[in-house]
Structure 1
């Protein structure tokens, strides 16, 4: 037994020495040399520099050559940078659930969306969109939120997004609970004026006061209307459903001029015709897309804080986003992913794919 142990130890030391030597040899190559070992002339190549595509765009590394499980988790394995400077679009996380009224956990949404986004590839096979040949995109990390003070968090979000939109970058936000839409829209409207809103959700989020508080995930769009952040004639809410506190839970929305599309109107049908009407409603003005993952039926997306049965399908969710192509989108968010309630990761994976679909319908994206 002792002889066998000594032989195994000697073999292990030799193997480790060889592995270290190989790693040293590989890492001594310049970045472009290293990645050229797994390049294909027909594909865009990823490098740490902005020469990735030959046209100055960031391109995620292909899983054909770089293992999905390797590397630091960024959205779609894109490069990380500290600010939105020089970017056309940016993924950014807002990890809070301080505004939730039921299940917590959405503060972990951005982290898990990034993990599952490693499954994404560079092209949209359904629409033939090529966002990474069209836009400079990166992951710019998370807003430094205050998990003890929701009002201070809103201030931090508003200030962070002022800087983002000032550069001309379009933010693609990973939530976090739906409270975040309020300070984001404050910053967006400062730059663009009142915006149209495509709001996909099980809930209208237009409550006035909840448990004595005016700021929370059930109130953002009431606050936005009060502050003139929305062009109310260009607001549509899709997928609303569930029990309510009054016979008509959406009376206030309709009174503002919102178009309300309840989930019952979406059952058993394609939403492509609806989105044709929405595009006409939105016109050429600036539009913000806010997508709460609980718009989807909890059978598809159980990892959320306030699930409601009989919701949209993932197919309908994709139809809604693809139906935004051609609009003047100035920002998008995907909120309320709560990973503790879905140990499979499928809700976060769905969120990652919906965010990619949002990227694909931004202005100036190239289609083959």
Structure 2
């Protein structure tokens, strides 16, 4: 029986106790019994329009108390195979992105070095650069599966090199990503020019717009992702604005005509053949959420991340 698993909601009502993800134990010390940790990075200095994603981690945790350990579509009880905790939040320095990157690397490196998989709750998308720096220290350049309305590969925004519109360009420049094994899915909306998308392709990413993935269908999109990423270590980054604002109104830079929550869950759920070593979900902004719609979507997507880890553990166990 895994050492770390959620509280039994038949013994303790879901509205009781401090908010941790899925009611997991709160632990700030790492040990060999942990397969994954959920941690927040409540930083939003990199946002360019609406701010407030620093409150995303607590919003996702709050809704996640409704999540249960058995996944019916995958036919697996997660905590028969994995052990995990809520690790609390990585310290950040509001207004200081470079220094916050150092804090992220310092906080995540011990997790990754032990082979524990971090699942990060953002925060704006600028935090992913710090995460990738920590991951690359152990694994070298990793493949990327990136679901987002925006490619986040601008060279600069407002003349600044580090913000939520630039992390993946910086990651390529720093040698953190294997772009030959990286794919971006879901780009849509008005642009400043065609170069906004072509820049990502010129960096080496395979890029699929929302219209392209919808025309191809979820099954074909999954086949393409698996083929692209292959067998090496990979990072999954999910910006909640991949979803249409009808499903995720609480985000910083919403774009209409996005994915449904059905498609989003199916896409993440289908990535069972990929060796993920880290995950994040970013850009949840609760001040613009309504009835916790966005938090509900985010929490359930993170539940799918944990399920992917559990499925890999079950496979390894034979």
TM-score range, shorter chain: over 0.9
Residues 131 and 365 in structure 1, CA contact (< 8 A), matched pair in contact too: no
| Structure 1 residue 269, shift from structure 2 partner | 6.3
**1:130–1:366 CA contact under 8 A, matched in 2:** no
2 CA distance for matches of 1:84 and 1:77?
18
- 5+ residue gaps in structure 1? 1-54
Counterparts of 1:318 and 1:344 in 2: how far apart (Å)? 20
Which of 1 and 2 has higher RCO (CA within 8 Å, sep 6+)?
2
Question: Which residue among 248, 265, 270 is the counterpart of 2:212?
Answer: 265
Say whether residues 1:62 and 2:4 are aligned partners: no
Q: Match for residue 197 of structure 1?
A: 144
1:84 and 2:25 are equivalent in the alignment: no
Partner in structure 2 of residue 158 of structure 1: 105
Q: Secondary structure at the match of 2:231?
A: coil
Q: Answer yes or no: is the 8 Å Cα contact 1:62–1:121 preserved in 2.
A: no
Any residues of structure 2 matched to 1:1-368 within 5 Å, and which? Answer: 55-86=1-32, 87-267=34-214, 270-362=217-309, 364-366=312-314
Give the whole-Å Cα distance in 2 for the aligned partners of 1:116 and 1:191.
33
CA contact (8 A) 1:92 1:142 kept: yes
**How far apart, in 2, do the equivalents of 1:319 and 1:204 lie?**
21
Q: CA deviation at 1:131?
A: 2.1
CA distance in 1, matches of 2:47, 2:148: 15
| Partner SS for 1:329 | strand
Instruction: Determine helix, strand or coil for the equivalent of 1:331.
Output: strand
Q: 1:129: Cα distance to partner?
A: 2.6
- Aligned-residue offset at 1:343: 3.3
Is the CA contact (8 Å cut-off) linking 1:74 and 1:80 kept in structure 2?
yes
Q: What SS is found at the alignment partner of 2:225?
A: helix
**Distance across 2 between alignment mates of 1:73 and 1:320:** 28
Q: Which entry has the higher C-alpha Rg, 1 or 2?
A: 1
Partner secondary structure for residue 110 of structure 1: helix
Contact 1:238/1:261 (CA < 8 Å) preserved in 2? yes
| Counterpart secondary structure, 1:366 | helix
Unaligned 5+ residue runs, structure 2?
A: none
Q: What RMSD over aligned residues (CA atoms) do the two structures have, in Å? A: 1.5
Distance (Å, rounded) in 1 between the aligned partners of 2:70 and 2:255: 33
TM-score for the superposition, normalised by structure 1:
0.83
Cα deviation for residue 154 of structure 1 reads: 1.1
Q: Distance in 2 between matches of 1:121 and 1:268?
A: 33
